[in-house]
């Protein structure tokens, strides 16, 4: 079984998230997702409209996602990779290079972001 691991906030799910999750899942046979906790989001200076439980329920309903676990810290990724025996760590290329330190533990892959869609844009359009 080839396990793919990725992380994110996944607030107000949109096609950019779905395409990332689908491409990641298609690289293997299992996709596990580290979902940023509400507390961790505050540390990322990102406030999510939907809380962790809500975002988790949405992610778990997606065919490409096999398991969702909480992301509480920046430092937990090596332990997560070991716990899930992850083969590939995948993120959108806005993170290019930021997680290369994980390459001793698994393959690190940055995928092109989907252009012209973001949760920030959606939130801004809601407040107009
Ligand atoms: N993404 C994408 N295309 C978009 C928007 C997002 O491919 N138009 C990807 C991002 O590159 C990321 C994933 O979707 O790989 C989740 O995006 P966010 O929810 O914004 O996650 P982020 O805040 O970047 O958190 O430890 C890593 C962090 O938790 C990542």
Query: Is 123 among the catalytic positions?
Result: no
* Contact 14 CB / ligand 1 (< 6 Å): no
| pLDDT above 90 for 8 | yes
Which residues have CB under 8 Å from 107's CB, separation 6+?
87, 88, 89
SS3 readout for the chain: CCEEEEEECCCCCCHHHHHHHHHHHCCCCEEEEEEECHHHHHHCCCCCCCCHHHHHHHHHCCCCCCEEEEECCHHHHHHHHHHCCCCEEEEEHHHCCCCHHHCCCCEEEEECCCCCCCHHHHHHHHCC
| pLDDT above 90 for 128 | no
Q: Please give the structure tokens belonging to residue 77.
A: 């990724």
Hey, which of 18, 20, 42 would you mutate to test ligand 1's pocket, going by the most ligand atoms within 8 Å of its Cβ?
20
Distance of CA 39 to the CA centre of its chain: 16
pLDDT tens for each residue of 47-73:
899 999 999 999 999 999 999 999 999
Which residues have CB under 8 Å from 125's CB, separation 6+?
none
Ligand 1 nearest-atom number relative to CA 116: 8
Hey, which of 6, 34, 92 would you mutate to test ligand 1's pocket, going by the most ligand atoms within 8 Å of its Cβ?
92
Catalytic residue among 46, 56, 98, 123: 46
| pLDDT above 90 for 127 | no
* Contact 113 CB / ligand 1 (< 6 Å): yes
- In angstroms, the Cα distances linking 70 to 115, 118, 128 are 27, 22, 32
Total-model pTM:
0.96
**Domains in the chain, start-ordered, CATH in brackets?**
3-126 (3.40.50.620)
């Amino acid at each position: 079984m080839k396990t793919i691991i990725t992380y994110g906030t996944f607030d107000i799910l949109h096609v950019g998230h779905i395409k990332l999750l689908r491409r990641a899942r298609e690289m293997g046979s299992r996709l596990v997702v580290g979902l940023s906790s509400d507390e961790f989001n505050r540390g990322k200076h990102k406030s999510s409209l939907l809380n962790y439980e809500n975002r988790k329920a949405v992610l778990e309903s997606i065919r490409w996602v096999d398991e969702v676990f909480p992301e509480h810290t920046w430092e937990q990724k090596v332990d997560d990779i070991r716990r899930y025996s992850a083969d590939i760590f995948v993120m959108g290329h806005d993170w290019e290079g930021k997680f290369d330190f994980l390459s001793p533990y698994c393959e690190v892959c940055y995928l092109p972001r989907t252009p012209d869609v973001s949760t920030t844009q959606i939130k801004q359009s809601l407040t107009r």
